[in-house]
Amino acid sequence: MQPESKSPEAGKASAATPGLPSSHTASLMHVWDAFKTWWRTEASGTVDQAAVIAKRRAECALTGRYLLMVTMSAGIAILGLLLSSPAVVIGAMLLSPLMDPIMGVGFSLAIGDYKWLRQSVKSLAIGTGFAIVFCALVVFLSPLQNVTSEIAARTRPNLFDLLVAIFSAIAGAYAMIRGREGTIVGVAIATALMPPLAVVGFGLATFNWTVFSGALLLFVTNLTAIALTATAMARAYGFSSSLSERGSQLQSAGMLIAFVVLAVPLGLSLQTIAWETQAQRVIRDEISTVFEGKAEDVDPKVEFSTGAVQVSATVYTNELFDRAKVESNAARQLESRLGRPVSVTILQIQSADAREAELAQLGESRKREAESLETAGVIAERLALLAGVPADQVTVDRDNRRAMVRARPLDGASLAAYAELERRIDATEPAWDIRFEPPPLALPNITFQEVKTDVGVSNTFTSEGRKALALVEWAQRRKGLPILLTGPADAVEQVRKVLAEDDVTATVEETGSGYGTVRVAWDMEQ
């Protein structure tokens, strides 16, 4: 009996997908082909590549305006870092033009335009040099040369910083390719290109090479991640390239290697930071243990070095213990837990009597009141800076922890940018209600889409429509002005109901029946 023969085609299919039924393979290939077709026609196929490239190329030029903005941004950044003011540092991020040449490097690599690449690198190098030298000069002339918390925060980059840069670069490249320039405000804040450069200048001026090298690594991490991610995004959107197939493969391999080279030391840094955080918790617990439950409060100061861990702790206790004994016991237990030599110094403070406790409580109350007054002043300064108004135009209610400011129009800023600024400064002061009133800018339109369900077709908001609706609600609450909805009857009514549920009233003007885009505007006639 002859063995059953197989066709060559069947053999190829079996070899291509061992262990996977041919029907599944065909389904997967069909899905992949459908995705590629959609991407070519609906995503990359709708991009005006020539316009995007022309705009990106123009913004990479080395001009007087570019150098001026770099210098001013650097000056604001270094002053904010020396004063340890997050709001001032955020202002420097918004002004910094370094994103343009970095994106230029990414796009020029993607299309293989090395003349544009040289121009972008030249603009980036000169701008970077200007920023470092100017910051170093400011620090050299400044009476304040302490390493503040804002400076220290930018000297130990880790793997999370790389991920932030990658995600921000994806958003930034998408915004530039699709013409969504309003997103760049948030990207500029997230990537933080200028503050690390300012810290590099600080380290240079103070000859602090630990600060210098740590901040430089953070800047290089952000720069490399943004440029290479922009390259990947441009290639994904099909920007025409002069590279050969082998050149494209080598470029992709080089990008992967660059990310790995960055990820390894940053991952090790993250591991070290995580260990030190855990060690802080262990140190506090073990010192409390050696006081046999009689320690009311333990305030350890820990210095990690390549040798022994140096622990200096202040312990408030009901009963004084033998100092040498508790220090010896704490050191022995910590060495066992941490696996490293530990040096422990403990200062014991016996708890005060009732009268002293009352005086201490009164002093603490006065201290909190002074801190509240100081916090209110700091918040007023931050809001005034971001809104472009004098500090006396900021309304601050300390009793209810509320602050409000009416912003001036900022060049190129959209309603979304003002909402993002409010969200970010509000996040830095969670105990306060921060309200940022924007100028009466144009409101976004609200779009709908058809969705097929088991019972038929329904109309609902697109993702962009939901974002626009939330932005309209926010702007109306901040401005208090009436709004006008114009569009097809069904769509207008659906938007009006959603707004009404959140206590936002709107005037309706119907232009037909059914669904479609709803135009939203301020109703100035009311």
**Buried b or exposed e, range 206-230, using 16+ CB within 10 angstroms:** bebeebbebbbbbbebbbbbbbbbb
Per run of 10 residues, the mean pLDDT along the chain (length 526 residues) is: 46 46 68 69 68 82 89 91 86 82 85 86 92 93 85 81 82 77 57 85 90 88 84 79 62 68 69 77 84 76 74 79 83 82 82 51 59 69 74 74 79 80 78 80 87 77 87 85 87 87 84 84 76
The set of residues, in sequence order, having a beta carbon less than 8 Å from that of 115 and lying 6+ positions away, is none
Q: Is 13 helix (H, G, I), strand (E, B) or coil?
A: helix
Q: Quick one: CA dihedral 349, 350, 356, 357, positive or negative? A: positive
Q: What is the CA radius of gyration of the chain?
A: 30
According to the model, what pLDDT value does residue 259 have? 67
Task: Name the pTM for this structure.
Answer: 0.52
Could you give the CA distance from residue 518 to residue 28 in angstroms, rounded to a whole number?
39
Token representation of residue 273: 């930071």
Phi then psi for residue 481, to 5 deg, are -95, 150
Could you give the CA distance from residue 516 to residue 489 in angstroms, rounded to a whole number?
9
Question: Is 337 exposed, middle or buried (CB count within 10 Å of its CB: 0-12, 13-18, 19+)?
Answer: middle
Q: Which H/E stretch holds residue 495?
A: helix 489-501
Shortest CA distance to 205 belongs to which of 115, 105, 135? 135
- DSSP string for 155-218: SS--HHHHHHHHHHHHHHHHHHHHT-GGGHHHHHHHH--HHHHHHHHHHHHHT-HHHHHHHHHH
Q: Which H/E stretch holds residue 460?
A: strand 456-461
> Strand locations in 287-341, DSSP E?
295-303, 309-317
- Report whether 388 contacts 436 (CB < 8 A): no
Q: How far is CA 260 from the centre of its chain?
A: 22
Phi then psi for residue 512, to 5 deg, are 155, -165
According to the model, what pLDDT value does residue 372 have? 61
According to the model, what pLDDT value does residue 6 have? 45
Return the bridge partners of 342, or none.
Answer: 309
Shortest CA distance to 287 belongs to which of 342, 248, 246, 235? 342
Question: What dihedral angle (degrees, nearest 10) is formed by the CA atoms of 255, 256, 261, 267?
Answer: 130
- Report whether 418 contacts 407 (CB < 8 A): yes
- Report whether 255 contacts 195 (CB < 8 A): no
Q: Quick one: CA dihedral 297, 303, 309, 312, positive or negative? A: negative
Using alpha carbons only, what angle is made at residue 397 by residues 396 and 400, rounded to the nearest 5 degrees? 145
